[in-house]
Amino acid sequence: MTSQSESLSPDFFEALYQTNPDPWQFKTSQYEAQKYATTLAALPKPRYQSAFEIGGSIGVLTELLGDRCERVLSVDVVDRAQKEAMQRCQHLPNVRFQQMQVPQQFPKEKFDLILLSEVGYYWCWQDLRKAQQQIFDALVPSGHLLLVHWTVDAQELPLTGDQVHEAFREGVPAKFRLLTEHRYEQYRLDLFERR
């Protein structure tokens, strides 16, 4: 079980992208491509009005999301990752980008979809709890929250994927309905609907 008391810093991610502009092989990995297909297939609505993607990286999933949503706001702490994402999504005028560190910063908008994919375990407990409240407050009633996280326990991360998902499940049934849950060999996916 991991238990770092601080979230991983923007500097950590800056350094990662400096060493390798695609640190998780989002552009080439079959595993990631399949996970993205599963992620989009889990969305119950054919279209969303306004989506918020936390930690969009170089925009591979963002581009797919842009096809399903009237508007997307994608944020990341790393400017260089966002620049690549902007290039990738330049044919999608409905997708906006903003450099932002969540939960220290959070948009003052409402969304009917929030996507937290492979980001929650970089937060410490305190930041996860703050982000949970912000996410809940930013979702319109009946809005969807899609969580996707790797579940292999990595000692260098503040939290595990399971800890992130279990923390959101604590909000069921008072705050959220759990619409979909899947556990695969290396990751899990939960889809919540705000009450």
Q: In the complex, which residues of this chain contact ligand SAM (CB under 6 A)?
A: 13, 24, 26, 54-57, 61, 75-78, 81, 100-102, 117-119, 122
C-beta of residue 134 within 8 angstroms of C-beta of residue 168: no
In the bound state with ligand SAM, the residue whose beta carbon lies nearer, of 83 and 195, is 83
Q: Which is nearer to ligand SAM, 100 or 189 (CB)?
A: 100
DSSP assignment of 125-193: HHHHHHHHHHHHHHEEEEEEEEEEEE-S--TTSSS-HHHHHHHHHTTTTTTEEEEEEEE-SSEEEEEEE
Contact 17, 78 (CB under 8 A): yes
Instruction: Quote the least distance from Cβ 174 to ligand SAM, whole Å.
Output: 26
Q: 100 or 145: whose CB is closer to ligand SAM?
A: 100
Which residue is associated with the tokens 């997307």? 72
Residue nearest to ligand SAM (CB): 55
Q: How far is the CB of 193 from ligand SAM (least distance, A)?
A: 21
Closest distance to ligand SAM from the beta carbon of 45 (Å): 20
Length of the chain: 195
Nearer to ligand SAM, 54 or 113 (CB): 54
